Amino acid sequence: MSSELAELESVPEQWKRRHLLGLEELSAEEITLILDKAEVFKRAMCEGKKKIPLLTGKTCVNLFFEDSTRTRTSFALAARRLGADVIDFSASTSSLSKGETVIDTAKNIEAMGVDVVVVRHRTPGTPRLLAQNLKSCIVNAGDGPHEHPTQGLLDIMTIRQRCGRVEGLTVALVGDIAHSRTARSNIWGLKKLGAHVIVCGPSTLVSPRWAEIGVEYSYSLDDILSRVDVLNLLRIQFERQYSRPFPSVREYAHLYAMDRDRLAKTKEGILIMAPGPINRGVEVTPDVADGPHSAILEQVTNGLAVRMAVLWLVAGNTN
């Protein structure tokens, strides 16, 4: 192993966790540790190292009860890059349709010798429930509107790389805050690292109760544009809404889409982010999404490094 990767020979003593369930429960030091290790993995990949066999002999299962392409693929590739075997679970072809519970499904898969369970489920708290009932390491890949910790981490990693720091920055999360697990993970992580967070969107999707934990809220994107260093444009979660929270998509885009005119009102070095897949023309126009201020594709690259770091940390010191 090269000197660049020598620090990955063993999991740091300060990392004590077997699971990653959310950023709310992590300390600033733990979040920073994950980001630092992700940087090492990213540098190694940029140097052409496609395989870093730190988890050889381990087995990772993607237990996804919701549709996913990018996150599932990213976790699978991260595990394979670390030398682990990967099993992909599909809820549509499982025995769940016969009445089998999530815990029974997970226990049956674990009995095949699985070391890490990466789980996505529409019900908040499902990863914690599995952590309480399984011996395997559990990684939350999104539980309903609750949290999506690796998305939060990759967003913060991108901010740290582009801006050189997180502390002291003003970061605005714009869009469907009410239903966004990405927003919650970003809020917890950013606040712990010293950023000022603003949530912005229609009043039907942005609660003033965020102020109770020190998060600023705004219903007008134009009012906050000149103050922010980072704009994270969140996708409207139509699949989690039981009623339309605004009259039309066109009206939402008129009030909240990041376009060329709004870009001209921002700070010169504004960073534009958006967790894919983006709805072009709704949250952001194509010219901004593909422009020099955008880090959307960097987020995807950083996601692979973050997930490698997380899988290594939770499973790297287990027997």
Determine the residue type at 230.
Answer: V
- Residue in 70, 244, 250, 254 annotated catalytic: 70
Asked if 265 is an active-site residue, the reply is no
Asked if 70 is an active-site residue, the reply is yes
Contacts of 89 (CB under 8 A, 6+ apart): 61, 62, 63, 64, 109
- Residue in 120, 191, 192, 293 annotated catalytic: 120
Residue-wise DSSP of 289-319? HTSTTB-HHHHHHHHHHHHHHHHHHHHTT--
H-assigned helices in 207-285: 221-224, 249-256, 260-263
- Residue in 19, 59, 71, 121 annotated catalytic: 71
Structure tokens at 232: 């994270």
H-assigned helices in 137-180: 149-163
Among residues 238, 239, 235, 275, the alpha carbon closest in space to that of 257 is found at 235
Determine the residue type at 128.
Answer: R
- Residue in 146, 148, 181, 293 annotated catalytic: 148
- Residue in 16, 50, 98, 209 annotated catalytic: 98
3: number of Cβ within 10 Å? 6
H-assigned helices in 193-259: 221-224, 249-256
Among residues 108, 63, 107, 115, the alpha carbon closest in space to that of 85 is found at 115
Residue 118 CA, distance from chain mean position: 13
Asked if 71 is an active-site residue, the reply is yes
How far is residue 79's CA from residue 85's CA, in Å, rounded to a whole number? Answer: 7
How far is residue 162's CA from residue 295's CA, in Å, rounded to a whole number? Answer: 8
Residues with catalytic annotation?
A: 70-71, 98, 120, 148
